[in-house]
Amino acid sequence: MKKKIAIIFLLTIISLQIYNSFAVQRFPKPEFESGHTQPPTITPDPRSHALAVLDVFVLAAALTVVTWLVLKKRSRNGVFWMSVFAVLYFGFFREGCVCSVGSLQNVTLALFNPEYSIPITVTAFFVLPIVYTLFFGRTFCAGVCPLGTIQDIFALRPLPIKTWLEKVLGIIPFIYLGLAILYAATSTDFVICRYDPFIGFFRLDATFMMFAIGGIMLLIGVFIARPYCRFLCPYGALLNLVSRFSKKHLTITPTECIQCRLCENSCPFEAIDKPVLLKEKEERPIAVRRFLMYTIIIPVLILIGGFTGSQFHENLASANSKVRLANELINETNFGETEKEAFEITAFKASGQTKTELYTEAAKITKQFYYGGWMLGGFIGLVFGLTLVSLTIFRYKEDYTPNKGSCLSCARCVDYCPVLPENKIELNKSI
Amino acid sequence: MEKIRKLIIANVQLWKAISYVAAIFSFIICFLIIANYFQINRIDPVNTEIINNLVERLNQNPNDEALREEIREIDLLARKAYFTNQWQIRTGGYFLLIGVIIFVISIQLMNSAKKITPEVGDKDENNLFIQKTARKWVSIGGAGIVVLALLFAFLSHNKLEETFNQAIIAENSGNEELTTKVPAVEQETANPIVQEESEEVDNVQEAVEEPQTEEIETNVQEIKDIYPTAEMKANFPSFRGPGGNGIAYQKNIPESWDGPSGNNILWKASIPLQGYNSPVIWGNKVFLSGAIANKQEVYCYDANTGNLIWTAVADNIPGSPTTAPAVTGDTGHSAPTVTTDGKKVFAIYSTGDVIALDMNGKRVWAKNLGVPENHYGYSSSLYIYEDKLIIQYDHRSASKVMALSVNTGEAIWTTERNGKISWASPVLVQTNNGVEILLLTDPFLASYDAKTGKELWRIDCLFGEIGPSVAYADGIVFATNEYASLVAIKAGAQPEKLWEQYDYLSDVPSPVATDKYLFLATSYGVVVCHDAKTGELLWEQEFQEGFYSSPILVDNKIYLIDKKGVTHIFKPDKEYVSIGKASLGEGVVSTPGFADGRIYIRTDKNLYCIGK
Amino acid sequence: MAKKEKKKGLPASLPNRQGRKAGLNRRDFIDKGFRFSIAVGLIGIVGSLFKKSQAKEYVWQLDPSKCTHCGRCATSCVLTPSAVKCFHVYDMCGYCDLCGGYFRPSSKNLTTAAENQLCPTSAIERKFIEEPFFEYHIIEDLCIGCAKCVKGCGAFGNGSLQLQVNHRLCVNCNECAIARDCPADAYQRVSIDDPYLFAGFEQKKEG
């Protein structure tokens, strides 16, 4: 025994000197005289590819059914049950990943990172909802997206919020979208996934923080319907843009609006555009001048945004692990650890990478963030500019119509409309 | 339907009651779970300091049985608490889920029982007012973001990029200073008188310098002791393996496969441009190059899937000729094999263009070495020693060997050779003198110090147009050329010919040697084995097809592929013992690359990965 | 109220009917143009992704040769306990009596007593085979992926105990939370056909 310990001791000393000593056969595998057979190393298989393909088909089928329910059947009940199905299948059964919202980042990563090639199923998850939205409006949000539908089910006591506030907060998703793309393009992080509030519920397991964020979001969602979809979701921002030009879209009334105003407060998402009558029209010169002024300042806003973004790029870049590591090494801050060397620094030393290489890489990433900061800032400036311009436009309309951008096609308003397809009016309507 | 509706409406009070109960229940469970969560964090079993401390104490007095018992009890308790806690949280989670579901259902039922009472808003919201307020707040919000972002940016402004670049410069100059200091210190010890004279001044300097130089020296020592390095051995970084000596260090290499039926062929990928070079493997990536007269490319394939990860084009290189030099069809524009150190990939072409790419295919540097005057085409492969890219550049008007910095492409050393054109590749081996570069040309074999480029020794031995590279084992270098001889040379400051043979000679494949035997394949299909020490012909074996691909010793087997793509696997032994034979169904002239359990073979158009 | 407005609204709009129609047509045209360009953009993105596509999904796996045994696999995973477990690569195991992965470094008695065990959850089972060989099994339900045994085996033994993501448990997050926290960058996306990255030996599939 002593001899053995001595050998092990010796080997330890030797092993400390050899770089990367892991997994070296120091002791030969024995040959058993007793006829003992060695058990196999167990390697459980991951979820099969066929199931991932099935997911894509279920996605396409669910989109088709919801679209049919919204546009043809005009059934809020149907949409609700599809929501339940989506929560059960894409949520609790599928346990989240990959979802269309997150796939946005995979697509970005594939476009910018030469080492990453994207699985076709993920591309399908990204593209299918956009295609459906392009033709039929945001039916994906209505009853397929598990993040949206779980909030929809929890929208129990929606309270109205001010229309102007809705418009102001509606800018946040675009900022989030820009950030998510910047971080995915620089291979830094998938922020959307990192701060996904509901995934923990679907898995019935998550870190405390994730549960806390999700719980708060759902609680808010009881009173302010679908807060994540309206004021955060970056994929929603994308669909919002696409939906504005959709070929078909949910209509409140099956035929012609009779101006009964019954649907006026029916939308929990403030997505019904009310009539804008000529009496509200301002004097033409003032309106035109204002419109021109806001249009002209768009480039200025882009520049201001870009400049701000470029100045802010270091703060953005410090989320990148390589930049962070380089920074900690240079400043010798050791990731705030005082007692022992930070794991990151130990690992860096073990990796065999030289400091020069790390710094070069970090400098390169910082540079990317510099340009990225310009683009992100410019993009945000553009969004602000366009929002402002859209807030100066007077467009005469006399009917109640869903706002094609922000309407989530949930079909709640449909139940409020007394007009029947045959142009009759139902007087005492209840569900 | 109607019945259910009525039932729902009739029981609104019930739903209300249920929803209240469910809400309170969920709330309590939620509270308990949160409390439990904080508890679980306190009793994290991985960091049980108490137990560790107790064990420490036990080690000091190993006979304290009471302490022993105590540890066992605490350990059991801690583990029990941990798993019970997890069970509690999980069960609590299910309860909470059920509570919330019941709550939501009852509220939904309540809602659905309510008649829709559409509200007609009584106060008019003026569109102008909405727009105005929204504009105001959008502007305020935007301005707020800008101000906050700028404020943050200026508060934490640390010029990251500049800092990094300065750090790089500091790091590099630090290294250079150190390397130049090494000889300086040596000089000091060599001239003790000078040292004494300026002792006072030097003392201060020395105090600063000494620890650093020591560090460098130990580093050098370490690297000196292992070439090829463990990292190189774990991969297949260059033509004929690490150092180019025809030996690979991988295990579990397949012994049977079949190209046409796809048996044991993991994948097959097409290669866009032609080239008679070989695949090199690093980690999960396979690299090779290809070129035609006006297009030069490097390819990176996924070693597991065969996906072409990236293609890098070597164009727009300053000094590159507008028209590529004439080459023969059996050499091509891309005969040299690429090499990699796991951080960068390097390729060279018939035009004399050298390109360095990072592992993502991004160009790091590229330069032209001057068009080589070579009537078949340049064909010597690249190797890396430490931070140096070793290039044999023997052509008609110049004959030299050089080392370029892998990071910048600057020449670190260049040594003139005054030989004739050579098509052989360098072989880098570890000897007692450090790492030597063995180079064969007409009419001599020479060795160079890889660190400095200094010629260590040379011996006249062969003549003709030399194609095969040398093999090295146990201090003996084996060199051969068609129409000349096969010669074994004892390496060292006084090189000497040990033996010479004339029967079977090679004009393309390079030999491979073990400590005991030398194996040589010929382009007309004969494989022979000589005793390494005496030169005695131990066996000869004739095959139907000739060989262009070089034999590789791996996993204690020799793999040799003939021109028709049939791989012959035999033992490196004093008798010919065939282990296996496998056909790819496609002609092969390139030397294979190896990874654990895998072989990568390049054919004219395709790259095959063989493995289970 | 509604009626009043209607009255006010309608006559004002009447003269504009024609103009409105033209306006609508123009809007339709613009919409169509935008729709078309979005479709083209989408096809463009899909097209440029075409070359960078692959048929099958990825799963996350860690490369044991890069692992520094920091213990974050146990704590950073979105699952509790972590989906990362210790795997025993029996092919590499030396069946040592004094197992660096099983015993605390200072253990003097080679018994299974709690004070000797390195594993904080007692997830390694030690079984006598024949003199002087012992076999070690990982009890998966107890293993929390803390890497203590992996570190011990790598430092003193063959390195046959290795951390790997157990794909039966892993929910395969789009971005692995451990990958984000791993100081050694040891996590990577690997093909679902080849989902394990054992170091130092060729894996054998479960029969």
Residue A111, chain C, CB below 8 Å: the answer is yes
Note the pLDDT of residue B218.
42
At residue A91, does pLDDT exceed 50? yes
What is residue C167's predicted lDDT score, i.e. its pLDDT? 93
How far A264 CA sits from the closest chain B CA (Å)? Answer: 7
Across A15-24, A145-154, B163-172, B366-375, least confident range: A15-24
Lowest mean pLDDT among A146-155, B118-127, B212-221, B333-342: B212-221
How many residues are recorded in chain A? 431
Structural domain contains residue C103: yes
B220 plus B72 within the same structural domain? no
Compute and round to an integer the Cα radius of gyration of chain B: 36
Q: What letter represents residue C98's amino acid? A: L
Choose among B152, B153, B167: nearest Cβ to A330: B167
* Chains contacting B (3 or more CB pairs within 8 Å): A, C
Q: Does residue C141 fall inside a structural domain?
A: yes
Do residues C36 and C64 share a domain? Answer: no
Higher pLDDT, A200 or B195: A200
For residue A352, count other CB atoms closer than 10 A to its CB: 13
A20 touches chain C (CB under 8 A): yes
Mutate to test the interface with B, among A24, A298, A313, A366 (most CBs of B within 10 A): A366
Tokens representing C172? 């395969």
Least confident of A339-348, B160-169, C147-156: B160-169
* Domain that includes residue B189, residue range: 165-225
Is the predicted pLDDT of residue B202 greater than 60, yes or no?
no
For A172-227, what is each residue's pLDDT tens digit?
999 999 999 999 999 999 999 999 999 988 988 888 888 888 999 999 999 999 99
Could you tell me if C151 and C127 lie in one domain?
Answer: yes
Element holding B366 (H helix, E strand): strand B363-368
Is position B577 within any domain? Answer: yes
**CA of C36 vs chain B CAs: smallest distance (Å):** 30
Residue A280 has pLDDT above 80, yes or no: no
Q: Nearest chain C Cα to A137, which residue?
A: C35
Query: Which residues, 6+ apart, have CB-to-CB distance to B72 below 8 Å?
Result: C113, C114, C115
Pick among A5, A18, A41 to test the C interface (most C CBs inside 10 A): A41
Contacts of A133 in chain C (CB under 8 A): none
- Supply angle C-alpha B49, B54, B55, rounded to 5: 100
Angle (deg, nearest 10), helices C17-50 and A100-112: 60
**Residue B268, strand partner residues:** B608
pLDDT reported for residue C52: 82
Torsion of CA A288, A290, A293, A294, to 10 degrees: -110
Residues B185 and B265 in one domain: no
Residue C88 lies in a domain: yes
pLDDT score, position A236: 94
pLDDT at B116: 64
Per-residue confidence (pLDDT) for residue A22, from 0 to 100: 55
**Mean pLDDT across chain B:** 83
Radius of gyration of chain A (CA): 28
- At A242 the pLDDT is 93
Q: Is residue B148 part of a domain?
A: no
Q: Where are the alpha helices (DSSP H) in A94-207?
A: 100-112, 120-136, 139-143, 146-154, 163-169, 172-185, 191-194, 199-203
For the sheet containing B434-440, what is the strand order?
Answer: B427-431, B434-440, B444-449, B455-460
Of A204, A282, A317, the CB nearest to B93: A204
Q: Do C77 and C145 sit in the same domain of this protein?
A: yes
What pLDDT shows up at residue B219?
44
Residue B220 clears pLDDT 70, i.e. is over it = no
| Statement: residue B125 has pLDDT above 80 | no
Smallest Cα–Cα separation from A63: which of A153, A124, A154?
A124
Regarding whether C81 and C9 lie in a shared domain, the answer is: no
Interface contact B305-C190, CB threshold 8 A: no
Residue after which a domain boundary falls, among B113, B139, B154: B113
Residue C205 is predicted with a pLDDT of 39
Question: pLDDT tier at A167 (50, 70, 90 boundaries)?
Answer: confident
Phi, psi for B347 (deg, rounded to 5): -140, 150
Phi, psi of C125 (to 5 degrees): -105, 130
State residue A171's pLDDT score: 92
Assess if residue C84 is contained within a domain.
yes
pLDDT on residue A396: 80
Q: By CB neighbour count within 10 A (0-12 exposed, 13-18 middle, 19+ buried), where does A99 fall?
A: buried
Verify that C10 and C90 share a domain, yes or no.
no
- For residue B345, which of B406, B262, B277, B284 has the smallest C-alpha distance? B406
Weakest mean pLDDT among A378-387, B79-88, B208-217, B556-565:
B208-217
Taking only the tens place, the pLDDT of each residue in B67-79 is 888 888 888 888 8
| The domain boundary residue, chosen from B47, B81, B113 | B113
pLDDT of residue B5: 74
B215 within some domain: yes
* Residue B195 sits in the same domain as residue B247: no
Nearest by CB: A308 against B128, B150, B222: B150
CB contacts, 8 Å: C54 with chain A: 117-120
Does residue B199 register a pLDDT over 70?
Answer: no
Q: Report pLDDT for A260.
A: 81
pLDDT above 70 as % of chain B = 88
Give residue-wise pLDDT tens across range B260-293: 888 888 888 889 888 899 999 998 899 999 998 8
Our CA-based measurement puts residue A23 at a distance from the nearest CA of chain B, in whole angstroms, of 12
Q: Tell whether A54 is within 8 A of chain C (Cβ).
A: no
Q: Are residues B103 and B175 in the same domain?
A: no
Q: What's the pLDDT band for C14 if we cut at 50, 70, 90?
A: very low
Q: Which residue has the higher pLDDT, B316 or B489?
A: B489
pLDDT above 60 (res A23):
no
Q: Confirm whether C198 is domain-assigned.
A: no
- Say if C196 falls within a structural domain: no
Question: What value does the mean pLDDT take over residues A374-403?
Answer: 89
Cβ-Cβ contacts under 8 Å, B86 against chain C: 80-81
Using pLDDT thresholds of 50, 70 and 90, give the confidence band for residue A69: very high
- Whether B153 sits inside 8 A of A430 (CB atoms) is no
Same domain? For C168 and C69 the reply is yes
Q: Are residues C12 and C107 in the same domain?
A: no
Work out the minimum CA distance from A305 to partner chain B, whole angstroms. 7
CA dist B488 and B471 (Å) reads: 9
Q: Is residue C206 part of a domain?
A: no
Residue A63 pLDDT > 90: yes
Q: What is the pLDDT of residue B416?
A: 86
The pLDDT assigned to B118 comes to: 62
Same domain, C80 and C111: yes
For residue C24, the model assigns a pLDDT of 67
CB contact under 8 A, C90 and A41: yes
Please, are residues A183 and A102 in contact by the beta-carbon 8 Å criterion? no
Mean pLDDT of B242-270: 88
B251 and B107 part of one domain: no
Are residue B237 and residue B328 in the same domain, yes or no? Answer: yes
What average pLDDT does the segment A307-335 reach?
Answer: 87
For residue A16, pLDDT beyond 50: no
Instruction: Select from B111, B138, B153 the Cβ nearest to the Cβ of A387.
Output: B138
Distance CA A265, CA B119 (A): 6
Residue B44 forms part of a structural domain: yes
Residue B569 scores a pLDDT above 80: yes
B183 and B285 part of one domain: no
Closest in A43, A46, A275 to C205, CB measured: A43
> How much is the pLDDT for A67?
94
> Which residues between 76 and 115 in chain B have a beta carbon less than 8 angstroms from any beta carbon of chain C?
76, 79, 82-83, 86, 89
Residue B7 lies in a domain: yes
B597 → closest Cβ in C120, C190, C202? C202
Q: How confident is the model over B387-400, as a mean pLDDT?
A: 87
Does pLDDT of B371 surpass 50? yes
Q: Would you place residue B329 in the very low, low, confident or very high pLDDT band (cuts 50, 70, 90)?
A: confident
The count of domains in chain C is 2
In SS3 terms, B547-609 reads as: CCCCCEEECCEEEEECCCCEEEEECCCCCCCEEEEEECCCCCCCCCEEECCEEEEECCCEEEE
Cβ contact B301:A114 at 8 Å? no
- The answer to whether residue A153 neighbours chain C at the CB level (below 8 Å) is no
Do B205 and B252 lie in one domain? The reply is no
Element holding B314 (H helix, E strand): none
pLDDT recorded at residue C54: 84
Residues from chain A that touch C170, judged by Cβ atoms under 8 A, are: 46
Note the pLDDT of residue B318. 82
Tell whether B104 and B241 lie within a shared domain.
no
Q: Which residue has the higher pLDDT, B4 or C72?
A: C72
The total of other beta-carbon atoms located within 10 Å of residue A363's CB is: 21
The mean pLDDT value for B502-508 works out to: 87
Cross-chain Cβ contact B157/A314 below 8 Å: yes
pLDDT tens track for C134-150 = 999 999 999 999 898 99
CB contact under 8 A, A20 and C65: yes
Evaluate whether residue C19 is within a structural domain.
yes
Asked whether the predicted pLDDT for residue C12 surpasses 80, the reply is no
At residue C23, the pLDDT reads: 62
Work out the minimum CA distance from C34 to partner chain B, whole angstroms: 25
3-state DSSP call for residue B486?
A: strand
- Whether C45 and C64 share a structural domain: no
Interface of C with A in 89-148 (CB under 8 A): 89-98, 100, 129-130, 133, 135, 137
- What are the backbone angles phi and psi of residue B559, rounded to the nearest 5°? -105, 125
Best of B86, B98, B117, B131 to mutate (most A CBs within 10 Å, chain A): B131
> Are C138 and C65 part of one and the same domain?
yes
Lowest mean pLDDT among A61-65, B175-179, B457-461, C65-69: B175-179
> Residue B516 sits in a domain of what CATH number?
2.130.10.10
Domain count, chain B: 3
User: pLDDT at position B123, please?
Assistant: 58
Q: Pick from B94, B113, B132: which residue ends a domain? A: B113
Q: What is the pLDDT of residue B185?
A: 40
What is the model's pLDDT at position A9? 43
Nearest residue, CB atoms, C2 vs list A52, A96, A260: A260
Task: Count CB atoms within 10 A of the CB of residue C100.
Answer: 24
Asked whether residue C38 falls in the same domain as residue C80, the answer is: no
Q: Per-residue DSSP letters for A267-290? A: -TTS-EEPPB-GGGPPPHHHHHHH
- The CA distances from residue B93 to A215, B44, B87, B89, in Å, are 13, 20, 10, 6
Q: Residue B12: inside a domain, yes or no? A: yes
Are B292 and B186 contained in the same domain? no
| pLDDT for B200 | 43
Domain residues for the domain of C26 are: 2-50
Asked whether residue B319 falls in the same domain as residue B410, the answer is yes
